[in-house]
Amino acid sequence: MDIEQLEEIFKQEILTCYKNNDWRELLNLNPQSNNKIAYKFLWVWPSVDNLEFIARKLKQFSKKGIISIGCGCGLFEWILQQYLGSEFPVHGYEVNETWWKSRYSNPLFITHHYPSFPIDSKELKQDHILLFCYFNDGDAFKHYIDSFTGNVIIIIGPGDGRGTHTNPEPFRPRFGRIQYDLHSYQEVKNTKDYIAVYIKVEY
Ligand SMILES: C[S@@+](CC[C@H](N)C(=O)[O-])C[C@H]1O[C@@H](n2cnc3c(N)ncnc32)[C@H](O)[C@@H]1O
């Protein structure tokens, strides 16, 4: 079987879980997070512990939801939304609407927001956590950070030795002129990918 056929089979398995609202079964499609076919849909295949870690941060910092920048097809965000329930909305932001609406795109698992730049700071709600999962544009990251008036950011990406690259990296983010401190982190299973939580330093 060639890679495209394997991707198609995997996609159908994802879609079956999605249609059945079965996020636990969806997590089980890639239990070791080592299936390279899965990267086409999502870079980080979380554990229930990882979802709980993020849920705890929302409650700890009294935030009302999550804004995920560069959400791709939104599979991580859909899983997270199922886990959190409607009390904590998860919003997905992307660029290149034409591509995402083309026949080449993955199916979308959440509704996309396509911001116009420069971003209106009211759009990035202060009472939400700003999430970057495998984001890969350092300049755009700084632009989002400059526009964000909230104070909690989560970066998911590779630690040392993982062999992949993101910008920002979870432990060496370049925030620019605004200072954030690392608050806590958790590894995604044993993958060397990490969920890192940052808090804005208030003067
Ligand atoms: C490597 S993918 C990660 C997708 C998904 N978060 C995941 O973990 O599988 C990075 C995504 O960021 C999006 N992106 C790039 N620049 C962006 C920007 N300025 N604003 C929002 N999304 C952006 C890309 O379109 C792409 O879908």
- Which two tokens mark 50? 């990882």
For position 167, what pLDDT does the model report?
98
Cβ(81)–Cβ(92) under 8 Å?
Answer: no
Ligand 1 centre and the CA of 203: distance in Å? 31
Q: How confident is the model at residue 202 (pLDDT cuts 50, 70, 90)?
A: confident
For position 191, what pLDDT does the model report?
97
pLDDT digits (tens, 9 = 90+) for 55-94: 999 999 999 999 999 999 999 999 999 999 999 999 999 9
Query: Does the pLDDT at position 145 exceed 80?
Result: yes
Across the strands, what pairs with 66?
90, 129
Cα separation of 99 and 194, whole Å? 29
Which ligand 1 atom minimizes the distance to the CA of 42? 9
Q: How confident is the model at residue 203 (pLDDT cuts 50, 70, 90)?
A: confident
Ligand 1 centre and the CA of 134: distance in Å? 7
For position 1, what pLDDT does the model report?
85
For position 104, what pLDDT does the model report?
94
pLDDT digits (tens, 9 = 90+) for 160-187: 999 999 999 999 999 999 999 999 999 9
pLDDT digits (tens, 9 = 90+) for 23-66: 999 999 999 999 999 999 999 999 999 999 999 999 999 999 99
Q: What is the dihedral of CA 124, 129, 133, 139, to 10 degrees?
A: 40
The residue nearest atom 6 of ligand 1, judged by CA position, is 71
- CATH code, 44-200: 3.40.50.150
Quote the mean pLDDT of the chain. Answer: 97
Cα separation of 131 and 106, whole Å? 21
Which ligand 1 atom minimizes the distance to the CA of 143? 19
Ligand 1 centre and the CA of 166: distance in Å? 10
Ligand 1 test: best mutation among 133, 135, 141, most atoms within 8 Å of CB?
135
pLDDT digits (tens, 9 = 90+) for 98-131: 999 999 999 999 999 999 999 998 999 999 999 9
Which residues make Cβ contacts (< 8 Å) with residue 188, sequence separation at least 6? 33, 44, 45, 46, 47, 50, 156, 194, 195
For position 159, what pLDDT does the model report?
98
Q: Does residue 157's CB lie within 6 angstroms of at least one atom of ligand 1?
A: no
Query: Does the pLDDT at position 96 exceed 80?
Result: yes
For position 188, what pLDDT does the model report?
98
DSSP 141-160: HHHHHHH--SSEEEEEEE-T
